[in-house]
Amino acid sequence: MQQLGLGIAITGSGSAVPPTALSNEQLSQIVETSDEWIASRTGIRERHVGSPELSLADLAAQAGEAALSMAALPAAEVDLIILATSTADDLFGSAALIQAKLGASRAVAFDLTAACSGFLFGLVTAAQFIRAGTYQNVLLIGADMLSRWTDWSDRRTCILFGDGAGAVLIQANERDCLLGFELRSDGTQNNCLNLAYQPQAKSVLEGVDLGQGNYQFITMNGQEVYRFAVRQVPEVIEKSLYRAKLTIDQIDWLLLHQANQRILDAVSQRLNVPPEKVISNLAHYGNTSAASIPLALDEEVRQGRVKPGDIIASSGFGAGLTWGAAIFRWGR
């Protein structure tokens, strides 16, 4: 296979959300809240939720198909599929099923879990495979269905999360469009945001005890996550800019994980990025975890706002705790 170079280009994008939207007004019929209360604290007006019949693999495949179509690449030419998700249909992984749904018969496929940072971790992982000359065409999908694991009686968390999928096609390129990145983890803060397994003791034989159970609803210390994000995200973006040999005024767009409008505002203000350069669509989708960055990117591309050659500073942050940033150029 002829190698085009040791760089990468992001050549296509796609996204998909369930058809059912759940508004703040509707949520106020479930828990004690209001549209004004939610919107003023989070910036969210509605979120999309998947039906019992909709699988994560279906949603992810839709986003993947759209990205391949934009790039005019047949699925049979995809070498690798990376699914960034924390809510796979199957605990053993859903990426291979997506490979089958797409007809990407020669592609290797695996899941990657880094919660809301998953898409950026996947982007950097994909770049290493391409830069090493191993693969040329990588389909990266970020998809989550957090409604499955939301406590709909907890107004602190049920107002935040939604379901969605976003995808990008990453291809080998003579000019490297991934200009710089920085990834971080801090397990000492793991308890701030969890979707935890809760074992129950089960005795199978005398003297042989084990734990069996299920995963519990999402729990979050919102104040700690906010403080973590507004402190760490500007720093990691600045480090990525340093690696890219760029300054913040040279970027065209700031694209953050869509968690909370207050976080987006605080980070952009600390970086001195004007509001017109900040991409935000969480009013319509809420926090879709690993899907949020590619979903927002795809909307901006299809609306013609993000154009080929534009430089984007992006950052993901969330459970783990994990966070990271990447500076990349859209297109070849």
Catalytic: 284?
no
The count of other CB atoms within 10 Å of the CB of residue 272 is 9
Catalytic residue among 137, 158, 173, 257: 257
How far is it, in rounded angstroms, from Cα 160 to Cα 202?
35
Q: Which of 299, 31, 259, 34 is nearest to 162 (CA)?
A: 259
Catalytic: 177?
no
Answer positive or negative: Cα dihedral of 98, 101, 104, 107: positive
How far is it, in rounded angstroms, from Cα 283 to Cα 173?
35
Q: Are strands 46-48 and 21-23 parallel, antiparallel or unpaired?
A: antiparallel
Catalytic residue among 116, 158, 177, 192: 116
The count of other CB atoms within 10 Å of the CB of residue 28 is 17
Cβ(124)–Cβ(2) below 8 Å? no
Q: Which of 121, 37, 43, 166 is nearest to 320 (CA)?
A: 121
At a CB cut-off of 8 Å and minimum separation 6, what does 312 contact? 251, 252, 253, 254, 255, 297, 306, 327, 328, 329, 330
Query: How many residues are listed for the chain in this entry?
Result: 332
Catalytic: 257?
yes
Q: Residues with catalytic annotation?
A: 116, 257, 287
